[in-house]
Amino acid sequence: MATTFTEKQEALVKESWELMKQNIPELSVRFFTTVIEIAPQAKPMFSFLKDTDEIPQNNPKLKAHAMKVFKMTCESAVQLREKGEVVVADSTLSYLGAVHVKKGVIDPHFEVVKEALLRTLESGLGDKWNEEMKCAWSEAYDQLATAIKDEMKEER
Ligand code: HEM
């Protein structure tokens, strides 16, 4: 569905991401700690979490997933401003659909990841975090999540 995403919203997402990405290891761990706090039952789905009681501090797969969620949300913000919709390349989308179906991800998990993303941004940005930023990230994430969820329905 086409939507209006302003230049200001795009700038807010981009600026906050520039600040956050200066500390990727900490951001990644914080993000996954929050995911598991909100939904402990999701832990066994992740290969790098299932056999451990602690969130691993320097795991490449953990970092890769956290980065994908943040970066693709950021890219979605750019597309929303440029085109009014999120367009993920077909090959990427079918890969994402397949991986998540295979791992047992279901729609409500996307709300968990959204909440973790927002809380991670809030704690990372401190004073710089505000309601407008939250709305912009939420909108970009929701549109991306919808694209992935729709693809997952095709895969099933
Ligand atoms: C794997 C992206 C949401 C659970 C992946 C991979 C990508 C990705 C790119 C493949 C990583 C690789 O190639 O190794 C995303 C994006 C999301 C999202 C962009 C949302 C915008 C979710 C949600 C869940 C989830 C909501 C469930 C809570 C998983 C799991 C794997 C995976 C379990 C396999 C990871 C492993 O064990 O190595 N995701 N994901 N993802 N994703 Fe997501």
Identity (one letter) of the amino acid at 31? F
Query: Which structure tokens are listed for 8?
Result: 């200001």
Structure confidence by residue, pLDDT tens digits, 55-87: 999 899 999 999 999 999 999 999 999 999 999
Query: Which ligand 1 atom sits closest to the C-alpha of 47?
Result: 37
Averaged pLDDT, groups of 10, the chain, 156 residues long: 87 97 94 96 94 91 97 97 94 96 96 98 96 98 97 89
Query: How high is the pLDDT of residue 24?
Result: 93
Separation of alpha carbons 14 and 82, rounded Å: 14
Taking CB atoms within 8 Å and a gap of at least 24, the contacts of 104-111 are: 104/45, 105/45, 105/152, 107/149, 109/39, 109/42, 110/145, 110/148, 110/149
Query: How high is the pLDDT of residue 69?
Result: 98
Query: How high is the pLDDT of residue 155?
Result: 82
Residues with CB under 6 A from ligand 1: 42, 45-47, 61, 64-65, 68-69, 72, 96, 99-100, 103, 105, 109-110, 112-113, 144-145, 148
